[in-house]
Structure 1
């Protein structure tokens, strides 16, 4: 089922990306945002369409930042996000009288990945990642042996998400100490599949993206462990959920527009379905579920949000 869901999600991505507009009829559900959260939400949407084929659920992939821009303008009902909303994004929503709720739906780890023929890199420290990716590295840190002298005297080729990606924001904050702080001379893409292709075809490549994309491409990539100060740890369901894969573990979110709750009952139905079904579908798309108590908390939070907005 994992392969079927992911393949379906990627096929839908090819034509859904960037074409989202909130359905003025009030019966459709429009979603946009994070490429990391996309496979989760698309898997849910696929199951939901089987339950109610008359509801048009459209999902775009503009990156977390792009999704929040659309969400703040009121163009979409739901935003997929691989980070929390920023203050300036909240301000835009407030200017447009948009209220919302943040719901945690899964955990994810950021995978540091290399080419399978890379036989010198099994584990990298957070400090070494910073040496490679910080802004001061641009134009200066160009070769592998500048990181460790025993590594090859070969150019290091970097691949990572673009600046609109929540994965980019999370990685740069966790590694470089400031969201958005990064060297710019790397191959960037909002499409994680482009990054997979880049590193898998480049012996001297190094990149990062969500763990689920590594899981789907593990036959052509090498997973690199990360030492956050307590020894080398690889991202797994256990190390991501218990936080030992630090500092590159994170929650994933969806945001729901209050006016969508008030104007379109199908949004309520979809989100209730989402929060009930997501634990059983997450492993099929390579993510880590919250605990049952955490899902109960999120369902209760959403129920209270719905009641509050129905009363207004």
Structure 2
């Protein structure tokens, strides 16, 4: 009988250790406290939010606040030292690098996931089955403003009805990426479209308008697939829709991209920030997939962890 009880106890302990595997591998066993300020990309927000929620179970006394002012807005705050971490759906620009230098802020760039930009129409749209890059450029380039206004100007067989455009605001990294990939110049597009930093506003706009067309990060489509229709893009060889497979293998081009967080050097002097970022990098793959993004390969996560460790040691 005693032997049976001992076996049961050993089994319970083993199960308990298994359940705590994530914690022991990726988070400090010491209980920490403090506040971590994060701001930036609405696209990266769901990943960071998922990480923060999971982290709270490990460190309930650490408060992680996450703002959504767009990649550009986030970098403005980051360059002024107002945030510890900046979510970004594109790499930092030269003008933002200079702003950081002016305020003696150094940082490390860390990749956390992949994302595909989704091109979307209303479910009542029965005429669009795909776009070429040239067609998307014709719709969105600056020269299109006031001129390319109707669907049949893109293809003659499409309706003689106005196109109603929706997209992220100009402070958004998603807007920067889309314009660079489609128009050929970051931040260059027509201005007569409904813009918002809040992707949920764009979802509602497209879902409520039969003649709408818009774009935003794939995860927000995944959340709202019952309200929207995802359109494939011709990559030069074939029409491809963004999925976990097509984004990670590069066939959904040119609208696939990495997502980032940036951490400043002052913040890594705080143990809670270091602990949170380590937790983030150790769990980003699993949690990114949970919220509709594409995990990086394991070797890239390993490299990010090594890069962060080096950065922390050099700023002690």
* TM-score where L is the length of structure 2: 0.89
Counterpart of 1:161? 168
Q: CA offsets, 1:114-141, max 9 Å, x none? A: 0111111011000000000000000000
Counterpart of 1:178? 185
Moved over 3 A (4+): none
Counterpart of 2:265? 258
Q: CA offsets, 1:126-180, max 9 Å, x none? A: 0000000000000000000000000000010000000000000000000000000
C-alpha displacement at 1:100, in angstroms? 0.1
Counterpart of 2:290? 284
1-side partners of 2:278 and 2:35: how far apart? 16
C-alpha displacement at 1:228, in angstroms? 2.3
Counterpart of 1:41? 48
C-alpha displacement at 1:282, in angstroms? 1.3
C-alpha displacement at 1:214, in angstroms? 0.3
Matches within 5 A, 1:58-97: 58-97=65-104
C-alpha displacement at 1:27, in angstroms? 2.1
Counterpart of 1:3? none
Rg: which structure is higher?
Answer: 2
| SS of match in other structure, 1:250 | strand
Matched, 1:148 2:147: no
2-side partners of 1:279 and 1:150: how far apart? 43
Q: CA offsets, 1:193-242, max 9 Å, x none? A: 00000000101000000000000000010000001211100000011011
Counterpart of 1:29? 36
Counterpart of 2:62? 55
Question: Which of 276, 281, 304 is matched with 2:310 structurally?
Answer: 304
1-side partners of 2:178 and 2:39: how far apart? 21
1-side partners of 2:157 and 2:200: how far apart? 31
* TM-score where L is the length of structure 1: 0.90
Matched, 1:269 2:275: yes
Provide the aligned length of Structure 1 versus Structure 2. Answer: 284
Q: CA offsets, 1:96-118, max 9 Å, x none? A: 00000000000000000001111
Matched, 1:138 2:145: yes
Unaligned runs of 5+ in 2: 1-32
Counterpart of 1:209? 216
Q: Root-mean-square deviation (CA), in Å? A: 0.7
C-alpha displacement at 1:188, in angstroms? 0.4
| SS of match in other structure, 2:39 | strand
